Chains A and B, each alone.
Chain A
Amino acid sequence: MKHLLKSYIVFSLLVGLLIGITAKNYAFTVDLPAMGDMGILMLWKDTEKEVKDLENNSTNLKDKIQQMEAEIALDQEVLNLLKSRDDLKIEIGLGSIAGPGLIVTLDDSPIRLREGDDPSFYIIHESYLRYLINILKEGQARGIAVNSERIQINSDISCVGKVILVNGKRIAPPYDIKAIGDPELMAKVLKQSSFFRLLENYKTLFGLQVSLKVSPYLELPQGTGVIDLESFGVAP
């Protein structure tokens, strides 16, 4: 019986040690949810999948409606109206667009941080994307997307911890800001801007990855953000 008690104590200690070491490793490497918060992560993943499925469903329905409308529109007058509507939606960011453009690629620094280094200089912040988009608009961009997320009239770019959200969706580095328009004009305006010059300084000092690439043909997807047309009125 004594033997049994001893082995019980040894096993308990071993298991306790195992749990302790694992928990300590997790706590010190990154700020992670505790074990009890697994539910949140599972829910997060499930909801993300649900949103993606709903987005696909919505896109399919929109395509179906467009097809049905085209079938109904037998005369030129209605076809013209449909075209005007679709052109407006492209400007808003709800329709896909293609053409020549510019790709600005940003990524975190690959440099390993030393003690005392400020990590905020080595990563791409969500505000960088906002400021670059503002400059690209100054360069007369006709359509912009970040990775696969189209920038609509009402898009917002935010962050949750270290994760950047565009239109409420997570995007991962490297960040490709694709802009359709006159590539030379956009590149010129970018290079002249104080913010882009600051980024280039960060590239030299902290190893942030910043590059510009002209593309003869870019395709931007339609936006997935929802705009409720019934929540406002048109001023007379």
Chain B
Amino acid sequence: MKIKPGIWIAFSFLIIVVLLVLQFKTRESLLREVGPTSTREAITYLRTLNEKKESLLKEIEKLDLRILELNEVSIQKEDFEKSLNQEISKWEALLGLKGITGTGLVITIIPQKNQILSVETFIDLVNDLWGGGALAISINKSRLGWNSFLYQSGTQLSISGRLIDSPYLIEVIGPVEVLESVLKIPGGFEEKMLIQGVELEMSVNNKLIIAAGGIQ
């Protein structure tokens, strides 16, 4: 039996339409799940996810090693105590109960005479620094702990009730390249400061020490 060429064409179109509908439906359900966003934003989020994935993989590797260690029948009480004490010391340093050392960034913020920087500027800066992988932050040598809060006291900034004057010296320990890039992204902290006419200096310190403090 000979099939008319018109039928073939109609059939091809039918397939195309079905494919198109399927494609749009898949896309629709995906977008419903991820929410409305642009390609650039999707890529940024994907990058954040990949960084988190990498750090989780590293953490899991270390946790697996720890399990192996604990499985060793020969584990000695002294060794266990020693490793626990070392771990405690590290957590204390992170919390601000002890000083912390490492590579870091020193940022000096110099506002113009009589210029007031809002407390929100500092809250956003601190947030950006944590996002950039900071492990410890201090402002004018006042260490920020978990429960530190920033407050606008008239024209002055206060950290958990302690007044801070300009110029502001921000010391931060963490991956300097990431920290720098976070501050320098278009529309980021550096740009905001430039727009406001605030002078900003940044330098890397390979042996930065941030003293204890910050816990209320």
Contacts and interface: CB of A to CB of B under 8 A. Distances in A.
A130 B87 contact: no
B135 A141 contact: no
A235 to B, nearest CB: 3
A174 interface: no
A81 B90 contact: no
B37 A160 contact: yes
Given A72-B70, A81-B88, A226-B59, A45 B30 contact: yes
Interface of A is mostly: helix
B87 to A, nearest CB: 6
A44 B20 contact: no
A235 B63 contact: no
- Chain B's interface size range is 35 or more
B77 interface: yes
B6 A3 contact: yes
A205 interface: no
A232 B101 contact: yes
Contacts of A85: 84, 87-88, 91
B56 A54 contact: yes
Given A44-B34, A163-B45, A235 B211 contact: yes
A92 B31 contact: no
Interface string A51-71: 100110110011011001100
Contacts of A82: 84
A118 B9 CA distance: 51
Nearest to A137: B149
Given A51-B56, A153-B145, A232-B173, A130 B123 contact: yes
A4 B5 contact: yes
B91 A89 contact: yes
Contacts of A32: 31, 36-38
Contact of A165 (B39, B48, B99, B150): B48
B90 A157 contact: no
- Which of A18, A42, A91, A92 has its CB near the most chain B CB atoms (within 10 A)? A91
Contacts of A92: 91, 94-95, 146
A92 B89 CA distance: 13
B184 interface: no
Given A47-B53, A78-B77, A161-B37, A40 B42 contact: yes
A137 B123 CA distance: 12
A134 interface: yes
B130 interface: yes
B27 A38 contact: yes
Contact of B49 (A51, A162, A231, A236): A51
B131 A156 contact: yes
B196 interface: no
B100 A35 contact: no
Given A54-B53, A91-B95, 5 more contacts: A4-B9, A31-B38, A45-B33, A73-B80, A163-B35
Interface of B: 5-6, 9-10, 13, 16-17, 20, 23-24, 26-27, 30-31, 33-39, 41-46, 48-53, 55-60, 63-64, 66-67, 70-71, 75, 77, 80-81, 84-85, 87-95, 98-102, 120, 123-124, 127-128, 130-131, 133-136, 145-151, 173-175, 209-212, 216
9 contacts: A44-B34, A85-B84, A131-B123, A138-B149, A160-B44, A161-B36, A163-B35, A233-B102, A235-B211
Interface of A: 3-4, 7-8, 11, 15, 18-19, 22, 30-35, 37-38, 40-45, 47-48, 50-51, 54-55, 57-58, 61-62, 64-65, 68-69, 72-73, 75, 77-78, 81-82, 84-85, 88-89, 91-93, 127, 130-131, 134-135, 137-138, 140-142, 152-158, 160-163, 165, 167-170, 172, 226-229, 231-236
